[in-house]
């Protein structure tokens, strides 16, 4: 089973022995698979592993699986020969201890696509840039003398059909100054200087150097030494659970109140929730088979040579899980915490442990339901939510991915974007239609963060349909004599498709069971409520619109296919476009009472603010997945009286009386 230990008084799970087909990969499995590849002679001095991912087990077999029965565990290793730039996908069954398949990645053929970057490639970038005479001349021309402290940001180049870039393993580098080794480089962008590198040849392909905008000198640091002493006015808030938390963890299985699910984690997606169920009147009912945020894109709306090409795919190009934060070094959750270690793989295909990558805890969430009767009788129940989260840091930005399960059956997904806004330099006080000046001379381009959530839904089973629901007025006339009437439409989406949100019509999508009805006779349903923020702003003819086609729509619905996991395809890095969701729905399969997957795009469009500098307060975005006729009745009627149960100082039963000294608002 799992190794659940107390580290410094904290509860931590690291899965060391696989007990369920959906358990995350273990260190031993990753090592075993690698040794099988090594024994086959496939690992030379120049071979690296840009990705190591679990092969998803067969869905029907997994659903039918019973404890004690055998199951297969396979791992996909992507091997890159850094000497040739040629990559292979090698699938190893660690159960059968053999290589199952070996396939060349067609990085050199249209539509191209490169495996994600290796950590060691970032170091190579710095070494190549800093020894390049053209670049040295460009920084010298700007009067920059301290080359040692310069930061060379390694950035995915996009795809623009440039002859000496297509089909090659490329990367670009922007230059940032540091006044000392710990100075924040993001405050000192060197404008108009772009280096493009061929990683396989290990050479600088071109240095573009234009303009003479001075590099801003203001500090971007936010340490105590820079901002001064921390305020002392805040009194402590302590979250205590004197009787322990209300959840239990057994291997990858987590149970909290009526919720049950399995935690998984991989290098690319980070956190994955499997087999999410809600126990309703003693019956365990399925809601989601698998849920994750497998891709995101950060396209910039600026046309300068430094940034027109920027559109980071943080999962597919950089790997969110591999870049996740070891919360062992600083956890941001409050309460009684249970962690899961994240197991990824390093550049050499060896297991890499991200200590306490996933954080779980309970959180009070105010009032869940309340009513004061005509006779003055007051009832109120407190809401509590279960939080499962992780953070990834990719360059300047930090992303938190938070899944909230509520007592009333609601699921909420929230992305927290924080970290440091990406800047260029400009003339202080000037106007730039594609950027805002967030500090003197620092211009932050307009940009978007569009996340893609993959919801492999299973509302009371796999036979599900999607109804698009929206509200509408009724024209004055015999159907609406007083003009007040309005109604709603429900349109079943029959075939694989993509859809936009429409906030003005409160457009939502209901996922309905094909066979189960609630006690009013309606299909049992969950409702996806989008925030409806803008989708991709780039023009349809642009490169990024083809490469990040997933981000052009709020919703895609596809028929489940085992290998369809990636919204922008398996290798979005330098891919010419069209992969992922456009391919997944191209067949136009029926999605009526089928095993279907919903892909929902959400996230902020940023016009950066001065308040976002030098480190950005969290920008929240997300969506709700809410029962809508799934239960026959409010599933949280049986909660205890919140006043007494949740307020420690009112445990005396004097809550609401004059003798209660509790400061909580009741
Ligand atoms: Ni932003």
The pLDDT value recorded for residue 33 is: 98
Residue 249, SS3 per DSSP: strand
Confidence band for 656, pLDDT divided at 50, 70 and 90: low
Say if CB 535 and CB 500 are below 8 A apart. yes
Least confident of 300-309, 462-471, 599-608, 657-666: 657-666
Q: How far apart are CA 655 and CA 663, in angstroms?
A: 10
**Cα-to-centroid distance, 607 and ligand 1 (Å):** 8
- Mean of pLDDT over the chain: 94
The model's pLDDT over 349-374, given as tens digits with 9 standing for 90+, comes to 999 999 999 999 999 999 999 999 99
Q: Can you read off the two tokens belonging to residue 467?
A: 């109804």
Domain range summary for the chain, segments of one domain joined by +: 2-106, 119-223
The pLDDT value recorded for residue 491 is: 98
With a cut of 60, say whether residue 653 has pLDDT above it: no
The model's pLDDT over 597-640, given as tens digits with 9 standing for 90+, comes to 999 999 999 999 999 999 999 999 999 999 999 999 999 999 99
With a cut of 60, say whether residue 659 has pLDDT above it: no
Of 209, 280, 314, 595, which residue is the catalytic one?
A: 314
Q: How far apart are CA 242 and CA 214, in angstroms?
A: 58
**Cα-to-centroid distance, 228 and ligand 1 (Å):** 26
What is the distance of C-alpha 137 from the center of its chain? 40
pTM beyond cutoff 0.75: yes
Confidence band for 666, pLDDT divided at 50, 70 and 90: very low
The model's pLDDT over 542-563, given as tens digits with 9 standing for 90+, comes to 999 999 999 999 999 999 999 9
Confidence band for 8, pLDDT divided at 50, 70 and 90: low
With a cut of 70, say whether residue 585 has pLDDT above it: yes
The pLDDT value recorded for residue 91 is: 98
With a cut of 70, say whether residue 5 has pLDDT above it: no
Task: Break the chain down into helix, strand, coil percent, rounded to 5.
Answer: 10, 40, 45
**Cα-to-centroid distance, 449 and ligand 1 (Å):** 6
The pLDDT value recorded for residue 634 is: 98
With a cut of 70, say whether residue 291 has pLDDT above it: yes
**Cα-to-centroid distance, 554 and ligand 1 (Å):** 19
**Cα-to-centroid distance, 447 and ligand 1 (Å):** 6
Indicate if 119-223 has the same CATH topology as 2-106. Answer: yes
Cβ density class 42-62: b for 16+ within 10 Å, e for less: bbeeebbbbbbbbbbbebeeb
With a cut of 80, say whether residue 1 has pLDDT above it: no
**Cα-to-centroid distance, 393 and ligand 1 (Å):** 13
The model's pLDDT over 84-114, given as tens digits with 9 standing for 90+, comes to 999 999 999 999 999 999 999 999 999 999 9
Of 112, 397, 560, 571, which residue is the catalytic one?
A: 397
Residue 377, SS3 per DSSP: coil
119-223 is a CATH 3.40.190.10 domain: no
With a cut of 90, say whether residue 145 has pLDDT above it: no
Q: Can you read off the two tokens belonging to residue 98?
A: 């053999």
The model's pLDDT over 214-266, given as tens digits with 9 standing for 90+, comes to 999 999 999 999 999 999 999 999 888 999 999 999 999 999 999 999 999 99
With a cut of 60, say whether residue 149 has pLDDT above it: yes
Confidence band for 663, pLDDT divided at 50, 70 and 90: very low
The pLDDT value recorded for residue 335 is: 86
Residue 198 annotated as catalytic:
no
Confidence band for 419, pLDDT divided at 50, 70 and 90: very high
With a cut of 80, say whether residue 657 has pLDDT above it: no
Cα separation values, 443 from 220, 299, 612, Å:
13, 16, 12
Indicate the CATH number of 2-106 among 3.10.450.40, 3.40.50.300, 2.30.30.100, 3.40.50.1100: 3.10.450.40
Confidence band for 654, pLDDT divided at 50, 70 and 90: low
Confidence band for 646, pLDDT divided at 50, 70 and 90: very low
With a cut of 60, say whether residue 163 has pLDDT above it: yes
Q: What is the mean pLDDT of residues 157-186?
A: 96
**Cα-to-centroid distance, 417 and ligand 1 (Å):** 7
The model's pLDDT over 476-498, given as tens digits with 9 standing for 90+, comes to 999 999 999 999 999 999 999 99
Residue 314 annotated as catalytic:
yes
The model's pLDDT over 14-64, given as tens digits with 9 standing for 90+, comes to 999 999 999 999 999 999 999 999 999 999 999 999 999 999 999 999 999
Say if CB 173 and CB 125 are below 8 A apart. yes
What secondary structure does DSSP assign to 618-632, as a single string?
Answer: EEEEEEEEEESSSSS
Q: What is the mean pLDDT of residues 523-532?
A: 98
Cβ density class 558-586: b for 16+ within 10 Å, e for less: bbbeeebbbbbbbbbbbbbbebbbbebbe
Confidence band for 292, pLDDT divided at 50, 70 and 90: very high
């Amino acid at each position: 089973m799992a190794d659940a230990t107390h580290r410094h008084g904290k509860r931590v799970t690291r899965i060391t022995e696989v007990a369920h087909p959906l358990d995350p990969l273990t260190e031993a499995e990753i090592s075993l698979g690698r040794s099988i590849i090594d024994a086959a002679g496939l690992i030379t001095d120049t071979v690296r592993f840009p990705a190591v991912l679990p092969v998803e087990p067969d869905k029907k077999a997994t659903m039918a699986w019973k404890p004690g029965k055998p199951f297969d565990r396979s791992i996909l290793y992507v091997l890159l020969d850094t000497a040739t730039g040629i990559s292979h996908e090698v699938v190893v069954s660690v159960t059968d201890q053999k290589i199952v398949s070996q396939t060349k990645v067609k990085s050199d053929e249209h539509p191209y696509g490169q495996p994600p970057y290796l950590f060691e490639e970032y170091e190579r970038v710095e070494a190549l840039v800093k020894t390049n005479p053209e670049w040295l001349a460009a920084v010298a021309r700007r009067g920059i003398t301290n080359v040692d402290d310069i930061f060379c940001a390694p950035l995915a180049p996009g795809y623009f059909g440039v002859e000496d870039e297509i089909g090659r393993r490329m990367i670009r580098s922007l230059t940032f100054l540091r006044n000392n080794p710990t100075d924040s480089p993001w405050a000192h962008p060197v404008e108009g200087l772009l280096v493009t590198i061929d990683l396989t040849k290990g050479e600088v392909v071109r240095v573009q150097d234009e303009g003479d905008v001075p590099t801003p000198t203001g500090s971007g640091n936010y340490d105590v030494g820079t901002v001064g002493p921390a305020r002392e006015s805040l009194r402590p808030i302590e979250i205590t659970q004197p009787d322990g938390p209300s959840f239990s963890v057994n291997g990858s299985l987590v149970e909290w109140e009526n919720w049950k699910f399995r935690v998984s984690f991989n290098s690319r997606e980070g956190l994955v929730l499997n087999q999410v169920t809600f126990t309703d009147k003693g019956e365990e009912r399925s809601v989601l088979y698998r849920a994750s945020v497998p891709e995101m894109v950060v396209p910039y709306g600026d046309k300068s040579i430094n940034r027109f090409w920027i559109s980071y795919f943080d999962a597919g190009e950089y790997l969110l899980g591999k870049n996740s934060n070891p919360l062992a070094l600083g956890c941001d959750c409050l309460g009684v915490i249970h962690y899961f270690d994240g197991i990824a793989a390093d550049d050499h295909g060896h297991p890499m442990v991200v200590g306490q990558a996933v954080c779980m805890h309970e959180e009070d969430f105010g009032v869940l339901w309340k009513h004061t009767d005509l006779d003055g009788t007051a009832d109120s129940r407190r809401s509590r939510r279960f939080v499962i989260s992780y953070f990834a840091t990719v360059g300047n930005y930090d992303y938190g991915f938070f899944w909230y399960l509520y007592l009333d059956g609601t699921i909420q997904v929230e992305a927290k974007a924080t970290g440091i806004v990406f800047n260029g330099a400009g003339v202080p006080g000037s106007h730039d239609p594609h950027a805002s000046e967030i500090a003197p001379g620092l211009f932050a381009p307009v940009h978007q963060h569009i996340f893609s959530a993959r919801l492999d839904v299973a509302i009371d089973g796999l036979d599900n349909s999607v109804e698009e629901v929206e509200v509408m007025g009724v024209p004055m006339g015999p159907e609406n004599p007083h003009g007040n009437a309005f109604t709603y439409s429900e349109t079943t989406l029959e075939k694989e498709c993509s859809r936009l949100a429409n906030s003005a019509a409160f457009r939502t999508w209901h996922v309905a069971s094909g066979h189960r009805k609630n006690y009013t006779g309606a299909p049992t349903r969950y409702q996806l409520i989008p925030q409806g923020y803008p989708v991709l702003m780039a023009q349809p003819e642009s490169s990024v619109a083809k490469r990040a086609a997933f981000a052009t729509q709020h919703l895609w619905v596809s028929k489940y296919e085992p290998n369809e996991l990636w919204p922008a395809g398996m290798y979005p890095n330098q891919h010419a476009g069209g992969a992922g969701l456009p391919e997944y729905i191209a067949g136009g399969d029926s999605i009526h009472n089928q095993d279907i997957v919903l892909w929902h795009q959400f996230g902020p469009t940023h016009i950066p603010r001065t308040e976002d500098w030098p480190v950005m307060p969290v920008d929240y975005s997300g969506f709700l997945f809410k029962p809508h006729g799934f239960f026959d009745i409010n599933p949280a009627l049986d909660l205890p009286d919140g006043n007494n149960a949740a307020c420690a100082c009112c445990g005396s039963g004097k809550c609401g009386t004059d003798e209660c000294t509790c400061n909580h608002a009741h």
